[in-house]
Structure 1
Amino acid sequence: MRPLHVHGRALPMPAVCIPLVARQADALRAEAAAAGARGPDLLEWRVDFFDGIGRTAEVVALAAELRRLSGRLPLLFTRRSVREGGQPIPLDEAQVLALVHAVAAAGAADLVDIEMASDPVHIAAARDACRAQGLGLVLSFHDFDRTPPAAELLERFRLAHRLGADLAKVAVMPRRKRDVLALLEATLQASEELPIAVAGMSMGALGAVSRLAGGEFGSALTFAVGQAASAPGQMPVDGLRAALAVLRRGSAG
């Protein structure tokens, strides 16, 4: 089981991430400062929520400012597409890639999330941009309708590794309790098989246990609510951290 590394430093297993989802710059600044005070291990800027996403220079400067305001927490820069649960934005895929390049070139984030369903050429370009600046690459897959079989989920993790990810992320929606087991099974197998960090999460109320206990099955990352959730089933960060502390003490024997 491999933890997530940021600039060579291993984060706790699992690392707790708070998403930033405000639409205006001043609200984002306040959200980052408040989130940093809650003690997460990193923040995620869901830039698809940001009304100014088309203003590249402002996005780059704001990303760097969010890190400073949070107390220098690592920042994961994410544009989530509509097809995988994100917000509509006024940019096409080539413009999104250009934005990622600008953020990476400026060293304004520490990790970048790209969806595995993206054009392979865009994935390769984002991977190269991250490598050039020492940023981590997260390759992600989301299904808000169902949970594919465990074998299919495992193949998603493997695909992320083949495409050059530093962390493979799979998030799916359960319709029954056995779907949560399928997600945890695939996450555990991927963590034992692959030489990269993995993150698996089952969304919604049924999948809440995966956000608490996912680390015991090899998941290197979990998401918690600071001021607002970015996906169904995320828990308040204070409760999640308290539960993780109890689980870690129990696991330590």
Structure 2
Amino acid sequence: MNFTIYHIALLTTFRTKVEGGELALSDTEYFKLCETVLDGGFTDALDVERYHDEQAVKQIVAAAHEHQVVVIMSNHDFDKTPAVAEIVKRLTSMVDYGADVAKMAVMPQSVEDVLTLLTATNIARQTLPQPVITMSMGDLGKVSRLAGEVFGSCLSFATVGAASAPGQIALENLRAELEDLKLN
């Protein structure tokens, strides 16, 4: 009998209430949770929210790298889509803080907002040394989850069961769509 063994990387994310999660945590509690995950060797990649205490963010990034854990630094704006320059500035600050991957999710109010996010993604792809992940949320933003690769987003998110963010697409649907749109 032949078995194929796949290594599937585990990304650990705890989304605080400020960033769209369910639970409000102090910076101390948030970083203690991150430290516990790292010290236990429970993950391959850790999502670190950018807009916490700057020194604590830098310390957890250093700790993650000491544990050979990839840092995906993130920021979520559930109210709006910032201007192109602001999105690029936020992604740049994540790279400056040591992120291996910079991630930004925004809430579009119009088609123009989706274009703003995709334009910022393209600029970040051209100017930053690290990969970026970006997406517009909700129904308007679904196209960014499907076509993000064209503009420079290196990854998309799908659901298995209930969605954790507005506009997420079911895995069985997303796989086929991404394959159809894959750049050769």
User: Which of residues 70, 85, 107 is equivalent to 1:173?
Assistant: 107
Counterpart for residue 76 of structure 2: 142
Alignment of 1:49-198 (within 5 A): 72-88=7-23, 91-198=25-132
Structure-2-length-normalised TM-score? 0.93
Structure-1-length-normalised TM-score? 0.68
- State the alpha-carbon separation in 1 of the partners of residues 17 and 29 from structure 2: 15
Counterpart for residue 201 of structure 1: 135
| Structure 1 runs of 4+ with >4 Å offset | none
Q: Work out which structure has the larger RCO, using CA pairs closer than 8 Å and 6 or more positions apart in sequence.
A: 1
- State the alpha-carbon separation in 1 of the partners of residues 23 and 178 from structure 2: 34
- In structure 2, stretches of 5+ residues that fail to align are 1-5
String of CA shifts for 1:102-129, please: whole Å, max 9, x gaps: 2112221011111111111210111111
Alpha-carbon deviation of 1:148? 0.7
String of CA shifts for 1:80-117, please: whole Å, max 9, x gaps: 1111100125x532122122112112221011111111
Counterpart for residue 235 of structure 1: 169
- In structure 1, stretches of 5+ residues that fail to align are 1-70
String of CA shifts for 1:153-177, please: whole Å, max 9, x gaps: 1111111111110010010000000
Q: How many residue pairs were aligned?
A: 180
Alpha-carbon deviation of 1:73? 1.6
Counterpart for residue 223 of structure 1: 157
- State the alpha-carbon separation in 2 of the partners of residues 153 and 100 from structure 1: 25
Amino acid at match of 2:176: A
In percent, how many aligned pairs have the same letter?
A: 42
- State the alpha-carbon separation in 1 of the partners of residues 142 and 32 from structure 2: 35
Q: Alpha carbon RMSD of aligned pairs, Å?
A: 1.5
SS in 2 for 1:233: coil
SS in 1 for 2:117: helix
Alpha-carbon deviation of 1:72? 4.2
String of CA shifts for 1:34-87, please: whole Å, max 9, x gaps: xxxxxxxxxxxxxxxxxxxxxxxxxxxxxxxxxxxxx64211111111111001
